[in-house]
Structure 1
Amino acid sequence: MGSRYDFDYYLACEGRDYQSIKAQSGCLLIGGAEGNKSGEHEATQWFLKRANGGKYLVLRVGGIGRQADWICQHYRDWIHSAAELSIDSREAANNSKVTDYILDADALFIAGGDQNDYQEYWQGTKTEETLNYVINEKKIPIAGTSAGMAILGDYYYSPDHQGIISSEILNDPFHYNTEHIHRSDFLQVPYLHQVLTDTHLDRLNQWNPETRYGRLLGLLAKVIHEDNNQLDHYGIGLEEGAFMAIDEQGIAQVFGNGTKSGQDAYFLQTNGALPEQMEPGWPLIWDNDGKAVKTYRISGTPEGSGHFDLKDWSTASGGQWEYWYTVGGKSGLRKQSF
């Protein structure tokens, strides 16, 4: 349907009767490698319970995918319907049929892909306006994986091509590929104000020669610099097997595979000091006696673990505090426990 308008809608399954329901707000952030992983089942149930038997809608670009079919196959009894909507141009994003589909939803899932496409096609359109309405006024739950998670943050990194790697940004936080950090100009998700998001922190393959932990530290430093050195900025980073559930009170818990790797969530905040060296062409030095950034790490379990209060960024349990810092470029990201 609607291909000439640059959008496609696919209804994967639907129940016979639908009564107006009241969904429960919340947010599920997904590190990027979901797919029948341990912990995903419980995180999905947490999210679908908030839909309260309503209409589940997947948003994406680039054509219809398989996420709605997967929901229908495994969680048919939890929902009234599951559908996908691919919005592939600014014209489509301003189409009333598109916004009506979004307004009608009781839960939204933003798929992975390329956050540049989301920004290019949706930002500043009726789709953006409608998304912010259903999140903040209708108060339905929203989830995002990979690129879909990235754009839920108040700040997000959206490179034109291959993203910057950790060593590049630590060696020069003004590297040309840091120009595409977008700030407070897209989706407004509760408890993610002033928060920079990043995903796939532990990914290593032929296209990703380094993990992204150092990148997250460097991006946080750059965001602070570009906001007149205001320290009240935060970072949330997820490893690929992590699912961070944030309830309507701003309390986060983490679902994951329960192993020793690949399921950690990280909450970053500054520790009262700006970087000691933040100059174009020079390595980033953010040391503060090894205590530059306070980070809380929660290892996800299938049952859901930890407790982090995003209202105050200090009340926490079930995880571990650590400091992140760098003493200059090639030294890389360093960590130490409290």
Structure 2
Amino acid sequence: MSRKISDFRRTDDSENYEYFLEYGKVNISTQKPAVLLIGGSEGGTVGEDAATQWFLKQADRGDYLVLRCRGIGRQAQWVADNYSHSINSAAELSIDSREAANNPDVVEYIKNADALFFAGGDQNEYEDYWEGTATQDAINYLINHKKIPVAGTSAGMAILGDYYYAPSRQGLISSEILNDPFHTNTKDIYRSDFLQVPYLKHVITDTHLDRHNDRHPETRYGRIFGLIARIMVAENHKVYGIGLEEGAFVGIDEKGIGRVFGNGSDRGQDAYFLQTNGAFPEQIQPGSPLIWDNYGRAVKVYRISGTPEGSGLFDLNNWLTASGGSWEYWFTTDGYSGFRREEIRY
């Protein structure tokens, strides 16, 4: 049962938005800029609790707003149930059309937020409904002028990168992009005129890297590697990536220093900071396997395993200063079958 001081729900069916104030009253707060990236399958873990407490501390008992599509969810209720001492209010706003995204009431709800959480779902809907609207402007106002903390999980994390993958059809798998870098499922790679998040310039993010089950027969390590190859060739400059396993959380503070939260277990808690290493792919063309070897050094990667205390440090100002993890090289000599991840041993 939620500890609710006041509830307020407003729905505008004509413009497809829904707003629900789960807890508290909207007030004025002093917050710090920060970013929390969430791997996508975080529920009920000590890593989630630690990362959430870190994030809400940056909001300084402010007003917490969840943005999403497809109707109100349970994220604000969960925050109100478990962290009411750390917030002033918790609310959700579902924006499900471009008309709603330009509604003045919707824009005001967004601008009043002191902490912003992008829920999981379908990043293609976020792009279709919000990009190029007053909602986009309001979000960027919060991030770059009001300078509030912002978080995203799964699809919500995907849209925080300067580049993002927002499929309008079946999502891309590793073997598709590595065996054909121009596979039809790669057409939805975007350079963002969408969200401008500090320290994520020239960065593409990806989540669920380690997910492997009956519905997902391949992990996504090769996918983010392939996406970086495509972007590097298209943009002709250095490209970066942040990929998270499902139980990992990366907190980036106002100085651009990231640390990784997780459960401290042996698997599923790792964050990967990827950067191109100076050489373009040896082979990248439609219908042929990607070859990006560079003597086994195509992409340089720093890997940090998350802990409840927040482990390691990674400086996103220079992508060089790092501690608490290990460096790797990722490369492929022949598409999916030739993809390798190897730790650098000094």
Distance 2:103 2:317 in 1: 36
The Cα shift of 1:331 comes to: 2.1
Identity %: 64
1:12 to 22, 43, 47: 22
Q: What TM-score, normalized by structure 2, do the two folds share?
A: 0.95
Distance 2:188 2:234 in 1: 12
What pairs up with 1:237-256 in 2 under 5 angstroms? Answer: 237-256=243-262
Q: Is the 8 A contact 2:222 2:336 kept in 1?
A: no
Distance 2:141 2:339 in 1: 39
The residue type paired with residue 178 of structure 1 is T
Distance 1:118 1:139 in 2: 21
Please state if 1:301 is matched with 2:307.
yes
1:290 to 272, 296, 300: 296
The Cα shift of 1:330 comes to: 3.7
Q: Is the 8 A contact 2:174 2:336 kept in 1?
A: no
The residue type paired with residue 250 of structure 1 is G
2:203 to 191, 195, 207: 195
1:3 to 12, 21, 24: 12
Deviations 1:279-309 (A, max 9, x none): 1111000001111110000000011001000
Please state if 1:28 is matched with 2:20.
no
Aligned position for 1:281: 287
Please state if 1:183 is matched with 2:172.
no
Q: Is the 8 A contact 1:115 1:150 kept in 2?
A: yes
Distance 1:162 1:237 in 2: 20
What pairs up with 1:252-271 in 2 under 5 angstroms? Answer: 252-271=258-277
**What SS is found at the alignment partner of 2:54?**
helix
The Cα shift of 1:329 comes to: 1.4
Q: Is the 8 A contact 1:257 1:301 kept in 2?
A: yes
Q: Is the 8 A contact 1:167 1:332 kept in 2?
A: no
Deviations 1:168-212 (A, max 9, x none): 111110111111001122100000000011110011122211000
Root-mean-square deviation (CA), in Å? 1.0
The Cα shift of 1:20 comes to: 2.6
Please state if 1:133 is matched with 2:141.
yes
The Cα shift of 1:272 comes to: 1.2
Deviations 1:6-64 (A, max 9, x none): 1000111105xx75321110000001012111211110000000110110000000000
1:225 to 230, 233, 238: 233
Where does structure 1 differ by over 3 angstroms across 4 or more consecutive aligned residues? none
Stretches of structure 1 lacking an aligned partner (at least 5 in a row): none
Aligned position for 2:150: 142
Distance 1:320 1:252 in 2: 15
Distance 1:330 1:53 in 2: 47
Q: State how many pairs are aligned.
A: 334
Stretches of structure 2 lacking an aligned partner (at least 5 in a row): 1-9
Q: Is the 8 A contact 1:154 1:193 kept in 2?
A: yes
Q: Is the 8 A contact 1:256 1:304 kept in 2?
A: yes
**What SS is found at the alignment partner of 1:331?**
coil
After the TM superposition, which of the residue ranges 140-149 and 164-173 deviates more from structure 2? 164-173
Q: Is the 8 A contact 1:278 1:284 kept in 2?
A: yes
